[in-house]
Amino acid sequence: MEDCIFCKIAAGQIPANKVYEDDRVLAFEDLNPQMPVHTLVIPKSHYRNIADGIPDDELGYLMNTVKKVAEIKGVAESGFRVIVNTGADARQTVHHVHVHVLGGGLMNVDSPAQV
């Protein structure tokens, strides 16, 4: 999709620090990390958010990639938080569905609230 920053990252048109990539998904480091581990996981296909009719197999593949990313980043055992901001009230700023994977330290109940 034109003018989508994450589509451009998926297409290699904008650089990113890649953590994992295959033909369906890409994981890369968040530009503005809120925790020692803060990686974003996206499908390469464009969906606006998690409520945008993502096929079950695509959504399942995306979430199983979260597990891979947690292992690669070394937080699979210690624990991690998964956040999918969806829509205006959640302050979604990039309208290409993405999963925040946060970890590397003990989080408060409401922190990091900004992601």
Distance between CA 17 and CA 11 in Å, rounded? Answer: 14
* Pattern 80-109, ligand AMP, x by CB under 6 A: -----x-----xxxx---------------
Q: How far is CA 29 from CA 54, 65, 88, in A?
A: 23, 14, 23
| Of positions 38, 73, 96, 100, contacts Zn ion by CB under 5 A | 96
Please identify, using beta-carbon distances, which residue of 32 and 108 lies nearer to ligand AMP. Answer: 32
Choice among 38, 96, 98, 100 that is catalytic = 98
Neighbour order of strands in the sheet with 18-21: 18-21, 25-29, 37-43, 99-103, 80-83
Task: Let me know if 98 is a catalytic residue.
Answer: yes
Q: Build a one-symbol-per-residue string for 8-37: x at contacts with ligand AMP by CB under 6 A, - elsewhere.
A: ------x-x-------------xxx-----
Residues 39-78 within binding reach of ligand AMP (CB under 6 A): 40
Rounded to whole angstroms, the Cα distance separating 100 from 86 reads 12
Going by the DSSP 8-state scheme, the letter that residue 69 receives in this structure is: H
**Residues contributing to the site for ligand AMP (CB under 6 A):** 5, 14, 16, 30-32, 40, 85, 91-94, 115
